[in-house]
Amino acid sequence: MTEIEVRGLTKTFRVGEVEVHALRGVDLKIERGEFVAIVGPSGSGKSTLFNILGGLAPPSAGTVSINGQDLAKLNDAGRTELRKKAVGFIFQKYNLLPTLTARDNIEIARHIAGNSGTPWDAQYQELLKLLGIESRLDHKPRALSGGEQQRVAIARALVNHPSLLLADEPTGNLDTENSKAVLSIIKHLNKRLGQTILMITHDPEAAAFADRTVTMRDGRIL
Ligand code: ADP
Ligand code: MG
């Protein structure tokens, strides 16, 4: 089954009189269960692609299907639904809410998707064990290390069982040791649980954890 199918994707930003061609015709196909890294220098269009795949921004032209659904054929409510349930996101800066505990940061993602009010199931308890954060759940983000915060962010991204995990520079703020730990977990999620993962990174060592690497340059896939 195909998880992501992108055809002829372009994105042009207008900055005053200037047009910035962030994506210049991207074709990409990712099957369910794949772990793919997208690499490329700064400014090559990686985050623009990420935002479009996640339904966070519209393309200028071209088509994107996620999980068999053409994003252009979804209305706002459909796209919101997709973002909440079919796709999990992690970012370089964790994006945890600072006033909430780790547990409530995770719980709020369930609430938004309409899944709250039930206990966390056994499968999810296993995931928390794998992430090594069960004993840290009652702490607020500032009491957690960067590596712990990113592991909470992974837990939050996966709490609604999305078929796709999108990661934009997930180790960009971490030291070598924490990077390796987070990448090992991501790899495990893919290999043991079959989680489809698309990870953007500029770090070749991070990309080496993926099964396939796609290189971007100047808005194109090489
Ligand atoms: P990467 O993530 O690979 O560093 P980006 O996708 O962030 O690259 O950016 C690709 C190009 O698009 C760059 O030239 C960047 O300056 C430009 N760009 C990205 N977002 C915007 C925006 N919102 N407005 C104008 N230009 C943008
Ligand atoms: Mg980027």
Q: What pLDDT, in 10s, does the model give residues 103-126? A: 999 999 999 888 887 888 888 888
The pTM is what? 0.93
Which of 13, 15, 26, 56 most suits a substitution to test ligand 1, by most atoms within 8 Å of the C-beta?
13
Atom of ligand 1 nearest to the CA of 11: 12
201 lines ligand 1 (CB under 6 A): no
Average confidence score pLDDT of the chain: 94
- Tokens for 91, please give them: 């970012």
Q: What are phi and psi of 66, to 5 degrees?
A: -120, 125
Atom of ligand 1 nearest to the CA of 50: 6
Question: Where does the pLDDT of residue 220 fall: very low under 50, low under 70, confident under 90, or very high at 90 and above?
Answer: very high
Q: How far is CA 103 from the centre of its chain?
A: 20
3-class secondary structure per residue, the chain: CEEEEEEEEEEEEEECCEEEEEEEEEEEEEECCCEEEEECCCCCCHHHHHHHHCCCCCCCEEEEEECCEEHHHCCHHHHHHHHHHCEEEEECCCCCCCCCCHHHHHHHHHHHCCCCCCCCCHHHHHHHHHHCCHHHCCCCHHHCCHHHHHHHHHHHHHCCCCCEEEEECCCCCCCHHHHHHHHHHHHHHHHHHCCEEEEECCCHHHHCCCCEEEEEECCEEC
- Tokens for 185, please give them: 């977990």
d(CA 22, ligand 2 centre) in Å: 11
Residues 6, 27 contacting (CB under 8 angstroms): yes
Residues 64, 53 contacting (CB under 8 angstroms): yes
CB-based burial of residue 117 (10 Å sphere; 0-12 exposed, 13-18 middle, 19+ buried)?
A: exposed
**Interatomic CA distance for residues 203 and 110, integer angstroms:** 32
Q: Ligand 1: which residue has its CA nearest to atom 20? A: 48
44 lines ligand 1 (CB under 6 A): yes
In this predicted model, what pLDDT tens digit does every residue of 173-214 receive, in sequence order?
999 999 999 999 999 999 988 999 999 999 999 999 999 999
Question: Where does the pLDDT of residue 86 fall: very low under 50, low under 70, confident under 90, or very high at 90 and above?
Answer: confident
**Mean pLDDT for the stretch of residues 81-105:** 92
